[in-house]
Chain A
């Protein structure tokens, strides 16, 4: 009785519950449910025009559950798909490594700059974010094309006589990916390095460490969480990148995002596209878990 009264007087509707429910319900609607639907469609028959075939049927008192796994078998057996997944991981890994090699010293020198200069340096890294990503990737087409800026320049100074073939190769793809994702590596590294207590370095120097030793044995280990965060922020979206391979990649630069797009838009095979999506999600699940664990740790610290 009391329970019913509480329910009717909306006593359970505390401010706290409402505040939690609003974003929770939105995310359930726009994020969680869509994935469940994808999962479900990935197991259905590829019925032309109707991707919502029934999984379960009830006839004559018998429940039949039809789970079609042939999409997954197809992905596992099809050489092109296996190669595409592997090559996506390869390009994402190369991108992450190059971003780290360029971005770590960059963030380090930013963090060691004079405190008055730092906000300017930081803003200069963030500024490209505010100008269109699509247009900045498009710009590389003009830079790397056969009659583009790099080739015109090299021919102009007489270094080469024939234009180098740079566009639509692995090279142009990697340049574009590193370019687009570099700020995502720099920003978390900078946030981490700028907070570092430099007295550790002084102590190391007092104890006889060379700057290089101090760097490898103190700075790098202390910035581990920044390295992990930056790497995950680059690696995970890079695996499924579509725009950059489409604009800068070539026929031999297989990327799963592009394959998924074609399967969906060109071949109209929604169940297969759903299965490809599920496999991509499985691929990025572990890096996502690492990323979330790091985020939770960072929140607990502050």
Chain B
């Protein structure tokens, strides 16, 4: 009887997980498959073709949007990781200072705050700044500021969880041996959390590359990022070129994820080898 119920449970569990993954991946599969569709008639399969990729290559609007998006994403990822590390460090190490509750709230709020609200308030702030100082113009700079606000919150979560599980006695040992606090940070803490910094960088990069709402509020004339272009077309209807964009993004992401997990696995193996060879000596 007992083995019977666990057998049932196991298959129910597997079934539930499979259905869940099917739900999560169905749209992705659909995007990729239909990017190779030869028909203009949107969701009917009529044969294999690369014409939408060719059309994409000649699509000046998307190409220039991609250029702008990549530049913003690069700047956002760097700024977010630096600021996020500061924030994570403060949250993990300094438990008592005036305004800590406000600080913690402000770090995590952009994670859940609806983006329209962040976008609108940032825009009104930047317009007021512009009224007083005459800059910044709406465009790359302002989008960057918005994305960094969001990216910092995500980077802080990633870095903070790594800081929490890090072995603090390493830092204490460095202090005892006479390191100055900044030396401890750069020589001990930073090498220990560098993997988290790497994943925070990648995460904020993709977030920025993908964001549409903040960009729409903060962009000016002539500064349409790729998501803004895609969104304006998606509003009108189905566009097979958008599928081609999707398939290419998915290709890049898949390669990136596989490469980084291979890299992490290799590092882990090396570390294990070093530990065991050190133990032998």
Contact = CB atoms under 8 A, between A and B. Distances in A.
Interface of A: 15-16, 19-20, 22-24, 26-28, 30-35, 37-38, 41, 51-52, 102, 105-106, 108-110, 112-113, 121, 123-125, 127-143, 145, 147-149, 152, 179, 182-183, 211, 232-233, 236-237, 239-243, 246-247, 257, 260-261, 264, 270, 273-274, 277, 280-281, 284, 288, 291-292, 295-296, 299, 302
B234 A52 contact: no
Contact of A27 (B107, B111, B210): B107
B66 to A, nearest CB: 12
Given A138-B230, A274-B120, A274-B124, A112 B13 contact: yes
Contacts of B117: 240, 260, 277, 280-281
Nearest to A182: B24
Interface residues of B, number: 85
21 contacts: A19-B90, A37-B121, A106-B20, A112-B13, A123-B261, A130-B256, A131-B246, A134-B227, A135-B245, A136-B31, A138-B230, A139-B30, A142-B43, A142-B238, A145-B238, A236-B114, A270-B124, A277-B117, A277-B120, A284-B114, A295-B104
Contacts, number: 233
Interface stretch (B54-62, B81-89, B190-198): B81-89
Interface string B110-125: 1111111110111011
Contacts of A288: 105, 109, 112-113
Given A31-B149, A52-B128, A141 B25 contact: no
B44 to A, nearest CB: 7
A34 B43 contact: no
A113 B10 CA distance: 9
A135 to B, nearest CB: 4
B146 to A, nearest CB: 8
